[in-house]
Chain A
């Protein structure tokens, strides 16, 4: 039967089990939107195309499925670029559909034409321009396959208007696509090497990253660590891949990592790094990073191996299958840790933890941001999905909220995109309407996509925004305080809207806390509401994130806290 391009589009989406798309219409995609008018596919109308991509991204991070968005050509397409680059840096599976001018006009500088496949080539896993109706179905199928296979990532599909209006005999049985899945091969020799290294190690450490969450390998990693009492630290992207409330958990490592995690890394003699890529914010100075350790790295992508840190034993493979095989191998060969040396290592870590715990001083009449996050943890009992923007509030969240399950901490790690949190939370809440979904934001970053409050209000997507408002671009301000002689160049954000009134103007509940005593009441009230809420917490203006490793410094050299904290 002959179908229109727009009909084929919806059929393939249905076959790919897409249950929601985030989008924004425009001239080049009006045929598609016309087709959507009579479809049951759920569509969420965002207020800016960047918001559509972040929402699809949040949905993908929370569910592990492919997130989908649909935007028009030209500016609609270019507005997706930051969102796509965000997903690309964190290996998030997305399919982004962009409208395009008719094929006959491509290259003519037509109205709302832009070379979006050219623009996004370096920030997508792959992209396609569909040149004719015959390729439409197989291209969309291939896009989904590429997005989710191997190391996942965003794929863009550019859809010219005339292709979508053309007709074609669509038969799903005739669709052939190239397989991109990397077959898993067991590597017993390497497992034996790991066993030898573990036997020789007195101070082993596991470093877990986003690849453990993407590879759904949290259970295997947790089993390995608990069975053999190996302490675990994690990157920002790895939060939740090992239970944050487990005594073996050392918290995050790196620039704002805990003292004990960074000391653990610096003193360990064996490191099992899983699904990480050794970002500069994690390693600090490469020369001194885990300098005493033999490092085993497990990753699905060979380009992540030996990129920044020299690896003693690389294992290329799916994190879940590899960890499962590793646990089997250790069991079969009756590996047991030396109880004395392990107890001594754990004691050493416990001493570091006792000497410099994560801390802050909630005194006086000014709200401390860490206190808001701890109260949020207490009230939700940790049972919440948390998104963040980027900056101080993101680091405080990573430090003070304990993530016990994977896919519950949703944050832009690699690209560090301000304005990510609110639209991402909308995507998460669409996937899990019954869950508490909280976007923790700063007053700088919330203003980068605040228009999405209208989206939340329109569909009553009950996300809760916890705004840690210090009237500063806090992280740049902190750097200016520490490294630029307190010359606060253009980081003062005092001129801001009244966020409570702004929330109300958007049709969202607005609440405010200005004193420590009000924190709990406002959070209780906000969390209880069955509507979207923005809570404006007026926090200490000059609070800094500690510990802090100076840029390029060794991670065991940290500024541990303010005078107030240390005394």
Chain B
């Protein structure tokens, strides 16, 4: 069956260990988590976990069913086939040298990337966008020498309930 990326949105009671339970359920059954984002919702005692994973539809259904069994899980939704928007953020630190300084600054200006902080020898760029935009920025900056990056998991929200 066709393997595909899926975005799973999980509402959970904000109890101790809930993230460990969710992650352990997938890990223990041999499924991979590709990215993960967790935070509270408008209700303090309810958190939302957005997770990306990949697999056939059968695998994804199994994952959803296994997660539903957890006592602290309220709901599980596969956003892949729903209308939804997706965002990730990446922070990239470029070391500036005599050779690359001009090119880096040009790339930032052309792509309207956001500079968070810069010094004589470095610049830290913040890029927010969907997966395609993030991949583009990485592809563009990698040859110029990325010193370090930090990337968030993907967050997603449906257009309607």
| Chain A interface residues toward B at CB < 8 A | 117-118, 121-122, 125-126, 129, 131, 146, 151, 178, 180, 301-303, 305-307
Contact = CB atoms under 8 A, between A and B. Distances in A.
Contacts of A301: 65, 69
Nearest to B72: A126
Interface string B1-40: 0000000000001001100110011001000000000000
Contact of B71 (A117, A180, A302, A305): A180
A307 B62 contact: yes
A121 B16 CA distance: 12
A290 B71 CA distance: 34
Contacts of A118: 20
B71 to A, nearest CB: 4
A303 B66 contact: yes
B71 A125 contact: yes
Residue of A117, A151, A301, A302 contacting most chain B CB atoms (<10 Å): A302
B20 A306 contact: no
Interface in B47-72: 58, 61-62, 65-66, 68-72
A117 B17 contact: yes
25 contacts: A117-B17, A118-B20, A121-B20, A121-B21, A122-B24, A122-B25, A125-B71, A126-B71, A126-B72, A129-B16, A131-B16, A146-B71, A178-B13, A301-B65, A301-B69, A302-B65, A302-B68, A303-B62, A303-B66, A303-B68, A303-B69, A305-B65, A306-B58, A306-B61, A307-B62
B14 to A, nearest CB: 13
B65 A303 contact: yes
B62 A122 contact: no
Given A117-B17, A301-B69, 11 more contacts: A121-B20, A146-B71, A151-B69, A301-B65, A302-B65, A302-B68, A303-B62, A303-B68, A306-B58, A306-B61, A307-B62
A424 B21 CA distance: 30
A566 B3 CA distance: 50
Nearest to B61: A306
A305 to B, nearest CB: 8
Contacts of B17: 117, 121
A335 B106 CA distance: 79
**Residue among B25, B62, B69 facing the most chain A CB atoms (10 A cut-off):** B69
A307 B25 CA distance: 15
A100 to B, nearest CB: 14
A122 B17 CA distance: 12
Contacts of B16: 129, 131
A121 B24 contact: yes
Nearest to A146: B71
Contacts of B13: 178
B87 to A, nearest CB: 31
Nearest to A155: B71
**What range describes how many residues of B lie at the interface?**
10 to 19
Contacts of A303: 62, 65-66, 68-69
A301 B65 CA distance: 8
B49 to A, nearest CB: 16
Contacts of A302: 65, 68
A117 B15 CA distance: 13
Contacts of A126: 70-72
Nearest to A121: B24
Contacts of A306: 58, 61
B11 to A, nearest CB: 14
Contacts of A129: 16
Contacts of B65: 301-303, 305
The residue among A118, A122, A303, A305 with the most chain B CB atoms within 10 A of its own CB is: A303
A143 to B, nearest CB: 10
Nearest to B68: A302
Contacts of B72: 126
A116 to B, nearest CB: 12
A176 to B, nearest CB: 13
Listed from nearest, the 10 A-B pairs whose CB atoms lie closest are A303-B65, A126-B71, A122-B28, A302-B65, A303-B66, A121-B24, A303-B69, A146-B71, A122-B24, A121-B21
A306 B17 CA distance: 29
Contacts of B25: 122
B43 to A, nearest CB: 14
Nearest to A150: B69
Contacts of B62: 303, 307
Contacts of B21: 121
B10 to A, nearest CB: 15
A268 to B, nearest CB: 25
A129 B17 CA distance: 10
Nearest to B69: A303
Contacts of A180: 71
A121 B71 CA distance: 12
A256 B9 CA distance: 43
A301 B64 CA distance: 12
Nearest to A180: B71
A180 B74 CA distance: 11
A307 B69 CA distance: 14
Contacts of A146: 71
Interface string B68-110: 1111100000000000000000000000000000000000000
A183 to B, nearest CB: 15
A306 B68 CA distance: 15
Contacts of A178: 13
Nearest to B27: A122
Contacts of A122: 24-25, 28
B56 to A, nearest CB: 12
A301 B20 CA distance: 22
A213 to B, nearest CB: 20
A563 to B, nearest CB: 43
Nearest to A118: B20
Nearest to A131: B16
Contacts of B68: 302-303
A131 B15 CA distance: 12
B143 to A, nearest CB: 44
A305 B61 CA distance: 10
Nearest to A149: B71
B136 to A, nearest CB: 39
Nearest to A310: B58
Contacts of A151: 69
A269 to B, nearest CB: 25
Scoring A122, A129, A151 by chain B CB atoms within 10 A of each residue's CB, the highest score goes to A122
A178 B46 CA distance: 14
